[in-house]
Amino acid sequence: MVTKPKNEIVVCKAEELPNGKRKIVAIKNMSIVVVNVEGKLQAFNSTCPHQGAPLEFGSISGVMEASDPQQYKYGCHDKFVKCPLHGWAFDMDTGKSLFSDKVKIKTFPVREEEGYILLSAKGKQEDVVISDVQHACE
């Protein structure tokens, strides 16, 4: 087992979170989504600040970027999680919303070390409940 700092939680073995898969880490009254997106680990609060929808079921995608008329440019591939209820999009790196500068989701540092996924969040390992996300919108 990996030696971890006090403020980190062992989520799972890295092999248990392959590309596209998600886990929910429940710590007391908070739920955090941990997702593997093309080998990049992301972690963010699971509740959409707009109307409380569960972001663990949101799609992960990019956005259409500004371009000339009649030109369509898709960018920021796999950078945003979209709320499954109203489609609000949040940058998984910064938590910022595409729709309002006043709204964002909390993001958390997450990393892989010695074959384990480690999440930086307050909480005791014994108080944590970790579950797989079923039927996420891919």
Beta partners for residue 61, in sequence order: 80
Mean pLDDT over 44-52 rounds to 93
Q: Residue 13's pLDDT is what? A: 97
pLDDT higher than threshold 60 for residue 64: no
Structure tokens at 21: 């898969």
What pTM was estimated for this model as a whole? 0.84
Strands, E assignment, 1-138 = 8-13, 22-27, 30-37, 40-45, 60-65, 73-82, 89-91, 110-113, 116-120, 128-132
Domains of the chain: 8-132 (2.102.10.10)
Residue 88 vs residues 35, 36, 54: alpha-carbon distances, Å: 18, 21, 12
Which is more confidently placed, 56 or 29? 56
The CB density around residue 66, as the number of other CB atoms within 10 Å, is 7
Q: Residue 101's pLDDT is what? A: 85
Mean pLDDT over 57-83 rounds to 71
pLDDT higher than threshold 70 for residue 11: yes
Mean pLDDT over 92-97 rounds to 94
